[in-house]
Structure formats: structure tokens, C-alpha cells
Amino acid sequence: MVVHFPDGDREFLYPSRELAEGDHIWHDGVRYRILSIVEDDGRPQVVNVEPVTEELGDLLQSEEGALVLVPAGD
């Protein structure tokens, strides 16, 4: 899958469970919210994300349960 981060695109292996809009993912120590997922027959998924703002509720939540992506080259 290809993830469109604010600072550029990166390719990742598919995670163990399917991604859905609204899910949170972690990359380089930053939490992102999935805005949309575009699937095109035979091509990798394209995932658009935005950083999650640090609000009180976010600070009280653990990163446990969020998906951690593995780069495709590793």
C-alpha cells in the first residue's frame, strides 16, 4: 500500500488486519488518522492520512491498539 503523508508518500507492507477510514496508524513516532482509502484493481491501496492533533483526550490514550506500519523494503 502507498500512504500519502503530509511530507511525502511511502510504501508499506499490508498490515495483519485491514485498514479502515478513521483508524489511527503510527509512523516515525507520530499518530495519523486515515482519511480515505482508494483501491484500484490490481494496484496497491492508496491511503490518505492527516496528523492527529494532540488534545487532552489524545494524550490520555495509549498508542496500544493503533497499527504500526512496516516499510515495504524491510
Residue 44 belongs to some domain of the structure:
yes
Residue 27 belongs to some domain of the structure:
yes
Angle (CA) 54 23 72, round 5°: 105
Digitized pLDDT (tens) for each residue of the chain, 74 residues in all: 888 888 888 888 777 778 889 888 888 888 888 899 888 776 778 889 888 876 655 555 544 455 666 677 65
Report yes or no on whether pTM surpasses 0.75: no
Residue 57 belongs to some domain of the structure:
yes
Residue 47 belongs to some domain of the structure:
yes
Domain interval for residue 32: 2-68
| Edge-to-edge strands, sheet with 30-38 | 8-11, 2-5, 46-51, 30-38, 24-27, 67-68
Q: What domain count does the chain have? A: 1
Residue 35 belongs to some domain of the structure:
yes
Residue 73 belongs to some domain of the structure:
no
